Chains A and B, each alone.
Chain A
């Protein structure tokens, strides 16, 4: 990126800083998601409070980065790849912030389940597996953004359908549970909303990856199944 030397290297520095800030925000989101899932597996609901508080920091970062983007556009009037980078960043932070919200939702759901005295253990493995797949997508999409690597970004986009399939199979499994034993319905519904949140995190990772492809190739591949093949 930005290999063509800009007249002012200060501009390069600004763009570099912007990227680092986005990745820092991404790092926070990654940590949030894995903390939420850890809370789900371990039942340590004391961490839920930390997760909810950290989410505020993510929200602030989103606003700050968006502000920086507006400043860069107004001050530097970037063109071509630089403009795409700034535009991409302002969309990526939106998705990251939403992924953070989903993590918060998971944490709160976990708290409700454990506070009601239920153990989601028997659904644990499927959810954990789903969460690991979604987390890997987030990580890889951020790596792709750090390395400006469209190939990896496309791999992330393709991985999304696996997460979707797994999500559906968890739902089917939960429905069977609920039909067999109506007492599990309350817990099962909470778990469905957790699974849904994880699946949404995967979607947000996919959106980030799509923006990376946009930054690199200048093509908008959203809603375009052919483009990623």
Chain B
């Protein structure tokens, strides 16, 4: 600073040195004139640099460098470098923020950041999908304006966040979400949204399974115990006695078949992968048709739709039990006079075994749960027709072990089609 002051003073002094002889030897006014012109020139020089700075400051671009003259050069240089550094820093911060946001977007959980009055500051795409938010329009909006479930509103207001909230959002069809609220940084709340639909469903299935096994076994057991008690305490005639014993035999057979099916299921589950024996499909389908005819005893029309080509690779007993299960189901749930079609089609891309009927059909809401153990569409009916409730579970497991998919299509009153799709690797002889 002092150097600049000195420089300015020296310039003024040198102007004075030039002006003084002119004023002394020629005329005083001329001396003053020279002095003023000198100072004016210096002022002009400064003003030019000032104008440059002024122009640059309006839009400080770093690519157009800022150059000054004389004393200004140093100042401009520093200013220019400062601006450039600042910009580099901002760019770096921007990049860091972008990476953080990208990380938040990459999370498989939904994330919403709220301020203390629960207004949305940020949310990732997952949260947008889960909660039906749109960050572009909803920033600054209280989150309860958009996620309006009363239990969620109450949870946020209560401020007790040690337990997560389980929420079934209105817009998310059948989803189940677990919401954690994590206060942080003193002025922010992080809403973590986990999709626990699968876990919830699994939990439900497990609970149902235990309840169902107990229920299914208890019913025949109650009947057995009841008759036993009667026989112990009351003297009944031989006819009556015979009838009771027959019913007891029925019930114990029923329990045995349930236990048998459960054992089959668990042995399929724990067994090693099936070997690759060739299963003669033409033969198998013929056997299935005969079994179906025997089961139906002429009440149904059994049709085979197959060109007899192609065989399957796998464990024959498992496939036989799976297929005959499907056929037996079709016969059982089709009223007399209906048609059951056994279809087989093999191509180099894969094969499909299907059983189609025009029976009572299944409401679409039951279809996803149909293969669950003991899942019954109509509690009374299937037990009357002799099912254990495990048939389709066994079918599904057997097919899974052969990498096959079970596809169920059904319409109430129109009929059902159960198809097992095998991949090309399981098809032989085509």
A binding-site residues for B, Cβ under 8 Å: 16, 19-20, 23-24, 26-28, 30-31, 34, 121, 124-125, 135, 139, 142-143, 146-147, 149
Say which residue of B137, B142, B144, B364 sits within 8 Å of A147 (CB atoms): B137
Given contacts A23-B148, A27-B149, 9 further A-B contacts (CB under 8 A): A19-B145, A20-B144, A23-B146, A31-B149, A139-B171, A143-B146, A146-B141, A146-B145, A147-B138
Q: Which residue of A lies closest to B364 (CB)?
A: A125
A23-B170 in contact (CB<8A):
no
Task: Fill in one digit per residue for B126-142: 1 if any A CB lies within 8 Å of its CB, else 0.
Answer: 00000010100110011
B153-A27 in contact (CB<8A):
yes
Say which residue of A19, A124, A139 sits within 8 Å of B170 (CB atoms): A139
Q: Which residue of A lies closest to B134 (CB)?
A: A147
Give chain B nearest CB distance to A96 CB in angstroms.
Answer: 11
Q: Is B150 an interface residue (CB 8 A)?
A: yes
State the main secondary structure of chain A at its contact with B: helix
B137-A24 in contact (CB<8A):
no
A24-B170 in contact (CB<8A):
no
Task: Fill in one digit per residue for B301-341: 1 if any A CB lies within 8 Å of its CB, else 0.
Answer: 00000000000000000000000000000000000000000
- Chain B residues closer than 8 Å to A20, beta-carbon distance: 142, 144-145
Within 8 A of A (CB), among B344-396: 363-364
Report if A24-B148 is in contact (Cβ < 8 Å); known contacts: A30-B170, A135-B170, A143-B132: yes
In angstroms, Cα B148 to Cα A20, docked, is: 9
- Chain B residues closer than 8 Å to A149, beta-carbon distance: 137
A24-B144 in contact (CB<8A):
yes
Report if A28-B137 is in contact (Cβ < 8 Å); known contacts: A20-B144, A135-B170: no
B binding-site residues for A, Cβ under 8 Å: 132, 134, 137-138, 141-142, 144-146, 148-150, 153, 170-171, 363-364
- Chain B residues closer than 8 Å to A34, beta-carbon distance: 170
- Chain A residues closer than 8 Å to B144, beta-carbon distance: 20, 23-24, 27
- Chain A residues closer than 8 Å to B363, beta-carbon distance: 121, 124-125
In angstroms, Cα B148 to Cα A143, docked, is: 10
Report if A146-B146 is in contact (Cβ < 8 Å); known contacts: A24-B153, A27-B153: yes
Q: Which residue of A lies closest to B171 (CB)?
A: A139
Q: Which residue of A lies closest to B173 (CB)?
A: A132
Q: Which residue of A lies closest to B365 (CB)?
A: A41
In angstroms, Cα B149 to Cα A170, docked, is: 30
B148-A26 in contact (CB<8A):
yes
- Chain B residues closer than 8 Å to A27, beta-carbon distance: 144, 148-150, 153
A142-B148 in contact (CB<8A):
yes
Give chain A nearest CB distance to B161 CB in angstroms.
Answer: 20
Give chain B nearest CB distance to A187 CB in angstroms.
Answer: 18
What are 11 sample pairs from A and B whose C-beta atoms fall under 8 A apart?
Answer: A23-B144, A23-B145, A24-B150, A26-B148, A27-B149, A30-B170, A31-B149, A125-B363, A139-B171, A143-B132, A147-B138
Q: Which residue of B lies closest to A22 (CB)?
A: B145
- Chain B residues closer than 8 Å to A142, beta-carbon distance: 148
A16-B170 in contact (CB<8A):
no
Q: Which residue of B lies closest to A34 (CB)?
A: B170
- Chain B residues closer than 8 Å to A143, beta-carbon distance: 132, 146
Give chain B nearest CB distance to A228 CB in angstroms.
Answer: 21
In angstroms, Cα B132 to Cα A139, docked, is: 11
- Chain A residues closer than 8 Å to B148, beta-carbon distance: 23-24, 26-27, 30, 142
In angstroms, Cα B149 to Cα A31, docked, is: 7
Q: Which residue of A lies closest to B142 (CB)?
A: A20
- Chain B residues closer than 8 Å to A124, beta-carbon distance: 363
- Chain A residues closer than 8 Å to B142, beta-carbon distance: 16, 20
Give chain A nearest CB distance to B6 CB in angstroms.
Answer: 52
In angstroms, Cα B145 to Cα A143, docked, is: 8
Name the residue in B134, B145, B170 with the highest tally of chain A Cβ atoms < 10 Å from its Cβ: B145
- Chain B residues closer than 8 Å to A16, beta-carbon distance: 142
- Chain A residues closer than 8 Å to B138, beta-carbon distance: 146-147
- Chain A residues closer than 8 Å to B364, beta-carbon distance: 125
In angstroms, Cα B153 to Cα A28, docked, is: 10
In angstroms, Cα B142 to Cα A27, docked, is: 14
Give chain A nearest CB distance to B157 CB in angstroms.
Answer: 10
Q: Which 9 A-B pairs have the closest CB atoms?
A: A27-B148, A146-B145, A23-B145, A147-B137, A20-B142, A146-B146, A28-B150, A23-B148, A30-B170
A31-B145 in contact (CB<8A):
no
Give chain A nearest CB distance to B267 CB in angstroms.
Answer: 36
In angstroms, Cα B168 to Cα A30, docked, is: 13
Say which residue of A24, A31, A121, A147 sits within 8 Å of B141 (CB atoms): A147
Give chain A nearest CB distance to B125 CB in angstroms.
Answer: 18
In angstroms, Cα B142 to Cα A23, docked, is: 10
Q: Which residue of B lies closest to A26 (CB)?
A: B148
In angstroms, Cα B153 to Cα A27, docked, is: 9
Q: Which residue of B lies closest to A57 (CB)?
A: B150
Q: Which residue of A lies closest to B152 (CB)?
A: A27
In angstroms, Cα B242 to Cα A215, docked, is: 82
- Chain B residues closer than 8 Å to A28, beta-carbon distance: 150
In angstroms, Cα B150 to Cα A20, docked, is: 12
Give chain A nearest CB distance to B156 CB in angstroms.
Answer: 11
In angstroms, Cα B363 to Cα A143, docked, is: 33
